[in-house]
Structure 1
Amino acid sequence: MKRKSNTQTNQARREFIQKTALASGGIITAPFSMDAMVHVHNDKTLKLALVGCGGRGSGAAVQALTADDNVELVAMADAFADRLEDSLRTIQEHFEGEKKIDVKEQNRFTGFDAYKKAIDLADVVILATPPGFRPYHFEYAVDHDKHVFMEKPLATDPAGIRLVLKSAQMAKDKKLNVVVGLQRHYESKYLDLYQKVIQGDVGKIRSGQVYWNSAGVWVRARQPEQTELEYQMRNWYYFNWLCGDHILEQHIHNIDVANWFVGEYPISAQGMGGRQIRTGKDHGEIFDHHFVEFTYANGAVISSQCRHQPDCMNRVDEVFQGTKGTVELGKAVITDLEGKEIYKYPRDWNQDPNPYQVEHDRLFASIRNKEVISDAENGAMSTLTAILGRMATYTGKMITMEEALNSKLELVPREMTWESTPPTLPDSQGNYAIPTPGVTKFI
């Protein structure tokens, strides 16, 4: 077979960005082929594996086991044995020893290749490790015909995004269900207001503001006995190969909503950022604030801001201005051009079903009903949008989405052991290199 030229490959990627549809709710359904997954039946006990046993992974496992009466947790995998055992106890305590949890000692796997052993034993897998590993874990799960729930973001670099997109297409071809933890797509309030937007209540969206401003998250201090690799793995939030910076790990939720409501992915971004408050050695290499302007092909410009600084204004929200009015997702209202309220979400959304649970309810219902949910493409493109924003703030340059997708940046090695050298290393004083706008180069 003749190999495609770089020009042909780049053109194909351009066409993918232009043509990938943002379906309502991020959910694409397709007929289920009986011969594609003959091992799944309505009355079958579905075997569940958890890969990544932190707080989010443990919570996702509880939600998966709650979603379906005939699901059993049979395998777990994590880099660290102590985290795995803590997670197992948490899940067992939640269900008070119900038979849903049958993780035999020989099915508790640790280390960098543990995910393969756990996935091999399951019908459905939860992928909840630090996101740097997600592309490889997703690839393996799809290669082995597993339905997947995976947490956002889906990668930390463009090389990972390209792998996720390839696996996403394979999952669709195999008619495997893939749900991504961008739970606003499964939240009643967001779905209701999105319908109002697409039916034209605010007109065409021309601008917007999305926010994740908070005091920050946990820090895990270095322990004397730790190697550099173990320290980074335990304090993973502060290293880009593992986390991707908080614009990616948290703010992706709001950026994804912008893509969803605008109806496409941005074509370029420019912005600024840095670290002023969170500057210690245990804060690794990431910024504590980002501000990005995302420009879309339809002319919309979305302003994105995220901040990890205490004693400042906190806000997690999305607001969009259209040619006929404004939609505020936090307040769940639509106002006209004069600021008059013309629609308000009719229920107390605090009493609505928990979208974290709904994700899993929908996943298992889709498996049982022989349907298909395909969230991975949108999850990958919203992840890439956040990576694009990080590239813009780190370099101080305007960068296009095409440049980001074709970037040679590859942060995460495919194969690692506890003897591996981490991709990022401190200097002799224990400090990590910090990106500097105007100095840091786009790769």
Structure 2
Amino acid sequence: MTSQNSDATSKQSSDANRRHFLKSGSVLTAGAATVLAGTRPVRGDEEVAEYERTLASSEPPIRIALVGAGGRGSGAINDSLSINEGIKLVAIADLDGSKLGGLRDSLAKRHEGKVNVADNKIYGGIDGYKRVLDDADVDVVLFATPPAFRPSYIAEAVDAGKHIFAEKPSCVDPAGYRICLAAHDKAVANGTSIVTGTQYRRQTNYVECIKRIHEGAIGDIVSASARYCSNGIWNKIRRPEMSDTEFQVFNWMHFIWLSGDQIVEQAVHNIDTINWIMGGPPESAFAVGGRFTRPEGSEMWDSMAVDYQYPGNRMVSFICRQIPGAANENANVIYGTKGKATIYGINSGAKIEDRDGKETFSMEGNIGAAYQQEHKDLIDSVRSGKPIVELKETADSSLTGVLGRVAAYTGQNVSWDFLANESKLSLFPEDFDINGPRPESSFAIPGQSKLI
């Protein structure tokens, strides 16, 4: 056997052993994870933190890659590197490759010893993610691209045997939803993790308040209201050299095929909270809305109000808007036969009151800790060989946002069954070409926009 063949055989054996280790976990790690799960003190306990650092340092590092290096992607990788020991960033991909070297260098300064991205592991261009998925040196992929790309990227990553963190939303249309469901099932069968960016499911005040709701603290749930009302959103100016498609991807929030509109891209957090409380998605949606302040060329509406009908004849009134100068509100109020629960967004906490208005429970919120905890849970699941696969829940919530949008855009009462099982709506262009043209932008008009 030649030296070259021997080296190749050795590398294949090493990769196979590594994949086995990461899939099954070591006896030490699995045992320690079981102990810690039952006895872990509150976050920040130095004794536990030091134990975890020692444990992680005795094992091969888990190698992660970032796909989509904008603001959310940079935040996600920083959260993962901050909270986790025994990991190493080894590759970065983004449509705009020119910024990636600077990101790598800044992360290396901030997270000493956790960043080892060679120049040939920096991938620019629309196909950069494929280089990441083909890379045997990558164990975990963090996806923070515009939402339109998420279903297919996740599905390809599952096929490649990668563990995944995927930002919300999971999809922007029924076609993407069905791709996500298939990817979820395949990840379960493969034993690979998919953790999603619904950080409120790991925020302690949300977890504890909803646990109490499910235990009957407010009695039977009768109805709820949810609001995600904020100011305006960013808008990017087209550069002269950009193609139509490149500009739309660059300014993705304002194009529905890419973002799904505010109700899907941003307000999905509140929708996910309501689905969590209600035990699943709604049966139907009826909605109104409009646009008053969006910039020229934007396809987004800037306000929607949706009545979601949930099983058990429970109605949820949902409102979202992005209007500069208007009042902000981010809260979910759940009404029961014995009282009500209010869960606020960001860091504003949660409380439960009885029918007389007496507070029976309250807890402060810490969204920063929740952002990091989702990444810790992912890496812990990989290291212990106990995969977390939560794509379906986030896909359900994403499609619930789509349900509200479709009801508002068309002016029709739309059922979950139709959208999930019958709708032919597929927004991603069949002729997608990053250097190609796109039709002139337009926005939906109720009564004219068709239910497909």
Q: CA separation in 2, counterparts of 1:246 and 1:87?
A: 28
Q: CA separation in 1, counterparts of 2:146 and 2:301?
A: 18
Within a 5 Å distance, the mapping from 1:73-92 to structure 2 comes to: 73-92=89-108
Aligned length: 396
Change beyond 3 A, Cα 1:414–1:139: farther
Deviations 1:91-124 (A, max 9, x none): 23422xx232111111111222211111222100
Structure 1 regions of 5+ residues with no counterpart?
Answer: 1-33, 427-431
8 Å CA contact 1:219, 1:235 repeated in 2: yes
8 Å CA contact 1:153, 1:252 repeated in 2: yes
Deviations 1:176-214 (A, max 9, x none): 111100000000000110111111011121111111101
| 2:20 aligned residue | 38
1:329 match: secondary structure: strand
Letter in 2 for 1:54: G
8 Å CA contact 2:243, 2:435 repeated in 1: no
More helix by share: 2
1:389 aligns with 2:389: no
Which residue of 436, 439, 447 maps to 1:420?
Answer: 436
1:247 match: secondary structure: helix
| 1:27 aligned residue | none
1:137 aligns with 2:153: yes
How far apart are residue 67 of structure 1 and its match? 3.1
1:341 aligns with 2:359: yes
Change beyond 3 A, Cα 1:251–1:169: same
1:226 aligns with 2:226: no
Q: CA separation in 1, counterparts of 2:317 and 2:207?
A: 22
Letter in 2 for 1:395: T
Structure 2 regions of 5+ residues with no counterpart?
Answer: 1-15, 27-58
Letter in 1 for 2:446: P
| 2:300 aligned residue | 286
Change beyond 3 A, Cα 1:439–1:415: closer
| 1:6 aligned residue | none
8 Å CA contact 1:213, 1:314 repeated in 2: yes
1:305 match: secondary structure: strand
1:281 match: secondary structure: coil
Q: CA separation in 2, counterparts of 1:38 and 1:110?
A: 31
Q: CA separation in 1, counterparts of 2:414 and 2:19?
A: 42
8 Å CA contact 2:203, 2:365 repeated in 1: no
Deviations 1:132-170 (A, max 9, x none): 000111011100111111100011111011001100000
TM-align CA RMSD: 1.9
Change beyond 3 A, Cα 1:39–1:416: farther
Q: CA separation in 2, counterparts of 1:137 and 1:414?
A: 16
Which residue of 102, 117, 129 maps to 2:116?
Answer: 102
Identify the range of structure 1 (398-407 vs 245-254) with the bigger mean alpha-carbon deviation. Answer: 398-407
8 Å CA contact 2:245, 2:433 repeated in 1: no
| 1:365 aligned residue | 380
Q: CA separation in 2, counterparts of 1:440 and 1:184?
A: 34
8 Å CA contact 1:54, 1:87 repeated in 2: no
Deviations 1:54-77 (A, max 9, x none): 011111111222233221111111
Change beyond 3 A, Cα 1:276–1:107: same
8 Å CA contact 1:67, 1:364 repeated in 2: no
How far apart are residue 299 of structure 1 and its match? 1.3
Within a 5 Å distance, the mapping from 1:26-425 to structure 2 comes to: 38-40=20-22, 41-42=25-26, 43-95=59-111, 98-121=112-135, 122-278=138-294, 280-282=295-297, 284-330=298-344, 331-345=349-363, 348-350=364-366, 354-405=369-420, 406-413=422-429, 416-422=432-438, 425=439
How far apart are residue 36 of structure 1 and its match? 12
How far apart are residue 340 of structure 1 and its match? 2.1
Q: Which protein has the larger Cα radius of gyration, Structure 1 or Structure 2? A: 2
Deviations 1:366-408 (A, max 9, x none): 1112212111010110010000010011011100011111311
| 1:9 aligned residue | none
Deviations 1:337-381 (A, max 9, x none): 222222222xx434x871000001111111112212111010110
Q: CA separation in 1, counterparts of 2:272 and 2:410?
A: 22
What is the identity percentage for the equivalent residue pairs of Structure 1 and Structure 2?
36
